[in-house]
Amino acid sequence: MQTLTQIGLRLHDGAPGTLAERASVAKAQGFTCCHLALSKTMGKQYMEASALTPGFARRVLNDLQGLDTAVLGCYLNLATPDMDEYRAAVAKYVAHLRFSRWMNAALVGTETGDPNKEYKYDPVLSHTEASLDLFIRRLAPVVEAAEKLGAIIAIEPVFRHIVCDGRRARQVLDAFKSPNLGIIFDPVNLLDACNLPDARRIIDEAIDLLQEDVLVVHMKDYVLKDDGGMKAVAAGTGLMDYSAVAEFVRAKKPSVQMTLENTTAENAEQAREFVRSLVEG
């Protein structure tokens, strides 16, 4: 199957500037799509629901100059115990879903949080069934809004969050059975210092369970810190074994949008070429 790679990057990983300036640099570096976090590229006020108007959507589209938005980021903690914070988060998700339609973004992306106000990994509570049940209940109005708006919400499994692996992500998908809910697949995010020896099995399992629902692939790498922990770095500059991911994309996702993370202005083109050669051969 011919692979027609669409590679993008997080616009806030590049050189500072206006949204239009960031988009121009990304296009000049050969990227065709992006991950757009409005708060990190334009300011926190643009994350607010009240700011997400049709007029602002037209401004964003003009500034992107033809660069596709693979992911419109809205990364908030739906599992917070603070109900006022939760209701505000749902309002922002709904506004982002509506905004994604106005600006032709493919989907709204989110991670899955932790069961505390600090959005901090809790080794005891984050991976319990109770926390997963809580997240599913909290996600329900967001999925309902996506269905009404004809938009897509995609969750990103991360080891240090509630949805930490392929199995738990599958449970969330099966709880809704909604065509408006999908997966952002970031293989490095499934890994942690404690499970690295089992990395290939973890990634293979996630691919097997989630492949039909993967809508976007995030690409980054990792190195080990002096304390034994992991640090995310640009694709091709660390220790990651990409063989399973490359095989998956070539076999099942020939034109999937792949967005780079943890790049810099200096190494973004190198990372793009690494990913392109990885999946195209």
The DSSP code sequence of 214-252 is: EEEEEE-EEEE-TTS-EEEE-TTSSS---HHHHHHHHHH
Pairing status of strand 6-10 against strand 230-233: unpaired
Provide mean pLDDT across the span 213-237: 97
The C-alpha atoms of residue 165 and residue 214 are separated, in whole angstroms, by: 14
Q: Is the pLDDT of residue 36 over 90?
A: yes
In the chain, domain spans: 6-280
Give residue 1's pLDDT.
Answer: 55
Provide mean pLDDT across the span 12-36: 95
Give residue 251's pLDDT.
Answer: 94
Give residue 281's pLDDT.
Answer: 75
Q: pTM of the full predicted structure?
A: 0.96
6-280 adopts what CATH topology? TIM Barrel (3.20.20)
**Side-chain-facing half-sphere of 198: CA atoms under 13 Å:** 8
Distance from chain centroid for Cα 187:
11
In DSSP terms, 222 is beta-bridged to 232
59 pLDDT band, cuts 50/70/90, is very high
Give residue 164's pLDDT.
Answer: 98
Q: At what angle do helices 54-64 and 83-102 cross, to 10 degrees?
A: 60
| CA distances, 73 to each of 32, 124, 196, 251 (Å) | 17, 28, 27, 27
Give residue 14's pLDDT.
Answer: 84
Check: CB of residue 180 under 8 Å from CB of residue 145. Answer: no
pLDDT tens per residue across span 173-197? 999 999 999 999 999 999 999 999 9
